[in-house]
Amino acid sequence: MQFIAYFGAWFSNVAIYTMLVRFDSSAFVISVVTAMHLIPAIIIAPLSGAIIDKFKIKNLMMLLLSVELLMTVLLLNINNASQIWLLMIFIFIRMACASIFFSSEMSLLPKIIKGKALQKANEIHSIIWSFSYAFGMAIGGIIVNAYGIKIAIILDSIILFIALIYFYNIDFKIEIIHTKEKLYSMIKDGFIYIKNHKIILHLILLHSSVGLTAFDTLITLLAKNEYKYIISVPLAIGLTNASRAFALMIGPFFISNKINKDTLIYIFIFQAFSIILWSFLQFDFYYSLIAVFLTGLTTTTLWSYTYALLQDRVEKKYLGRVISYNDMIFMLSNVLTTLFIGIMASYVSLQTITISIGMMFFIVVFYYSRIKKWI
């Protein structure tokens, strides 16, 4: 169901940005539309966590998928630049549902499986995302180019409908914890739970460090400033992202069986060195493809393993809330990394920015060495 839904989602994403270009939208408008994909996960996290813990999870997830499908269909009504405000509303609602759905899913998994199996499930989730990103975007671009924006949105709607039907027929049995608490009380109780369990907060911060690998802006700037003399900008962006996505996809096959609480620190060190190596090879497009591949090899494993550490430590009653708060902090980490790259690019070289991100992972290594004894 994940694969079907994720693969389809990229069709409408390509269509949306193609639509904005055809409307001759300003850079500010495009950035605001992009922000609408990120903001919902940040601002609704406390409420979504309480909702997840309060209601029957399958019914909730079915409702969220249905609203996501409806918002995708409504994108067909956007025909000119004067309707961009409406486009933003549709995207905000769709991404809010997608965010709650993701948090629901990640709180559901530890209720079904534990330990190593949970880590594997997280890795499979991340592999599916990487594959869908690499190939879904490419096929979405071909569909939009060959058949147009409307056809891509219709195809996305059909794929989401298939995912909805498929999910309806998935049978899973979990313990239902009934609660008559009000949403406000549940939100407050969730924060108190984290405050009283400091290791949960440490694990949330540890997981958020993976947000330092939000390289989209860096890759775009490299293509625009460095590689446009060698290869077209779209092709440079596509090949670089494809190289990284391929590494994100295959990395767990080589690393996941070797990772544990003792070896995790070495995975973080490898992440740091691979990013710094990339900074020194950015001058050459083809060398950089190899280096960016190395930066992606450990990222999926870091994401899935640190997520599993958190999931395993949280009581079932609080899973929805803690997972939602975790996703909020992780998304903030992505946004702050993106802003850091965008702002610093006006003052220092892209190589310096890349080295700085690599060095931040050495701070993560130090941080993990300090909290490891409590995990």
The answer to whether residue 210 scores a pLDDT higher than 80 is yes
Question: What pLDDT does residue 76 have?
Answer: 94
The answer to whether residue 46 scores a pLDDT higher than 80 is no
The answer to whether residue 98 scores a pLDDT higher than 80 is yes
Question: What pLDDT does residue 180 have?
Answer: 64
**3-state class of 44 per DSSP?**
coil
Question: What pLDDT does residue 27 have?
Answer: 59
Region 201-223: what's the mean pLDDT? Answer: 90
Q: Could you report the per-residue pLDDT of 168-190, keeping only the tens digit for each?
A: 888 876 665 555 667 778 878 88
What is the secondary structure of 275-300 as a DSSP string?
HHHHHHHTTSHHHHHHHHHHHHHTHH
Least confident of 124-138, 167-181, 194-208: 167-181
Q: For a pLDDT cut of 90, what percent of the chain falls above it?
A: 36
Count the neighbouring beta carbons within 10 Å of the beta carbon of residue 49. 30
Task: Compute CA 247 distance to the chain's CA centroid, rounded to the nearest angstrom.
Answer: 16
Question: 266 pLDDT band (50/70/90 cuts)?
Answer: very high
**3-state class of 315 per DSSP?**
coil
The answer to whether residue 38 scores a pLDDT higher than 80 is no
Question: What pLDDT does residue 137 have?
Answer: 67
Q: Could you report the per-residue pLDDT of 53-64, keeping only the tens digit for each?
A: 777 888 888 999
Spatial distance between the Cα atoms of 108 and 207, rounded to a whole number of angstroms = 18
Question: What pLDDT does residue 176 have?
Answer: 57
Question: What pLDDT does residue 113 have?
Answer: 84
Of 326, 291, 296, the residue nearest 311 (C-alpha): 326
Question: What pLDDT does residue 199 have?
Answer: 95
Question: What pLDDT does residue 6 have?
Answer: 76
Per-residue CA distances from 316 to 79, 133, 230 (Å): 46, 31, 53
Q: Could you report the per-residue pLDDT of 64-97, keeping only the tens digit for each?
A: 999 999 999 999 999 998 999 999 999 999 988 8
Of 41, 203, 180, 184, the residue nearest 110 (C-alpha): 203
Question: 216 pLDDT band (50/70/90 cuts)?
Answer: confident
Question: What pLDDT does residue 15 have?
Answer: 81
Domains of the chain: 1-174 (1.20.1250.20), 193-375 (1.20.1250.20)
Question: What pLDDT does residue 365 have?
Answer: 97
0.85 surpassed by pTM: no
Question: What pLDDT does residue 177 have?
Answer: 59
Region 18-42: what's the mean pLDDT? Answer: 76
What is the secondary structure of 23-65 as a DSSP string?
TT--HHHHHHHHHTTTHHHHHSHHHHHHHHHHS-HHHHHHHHH
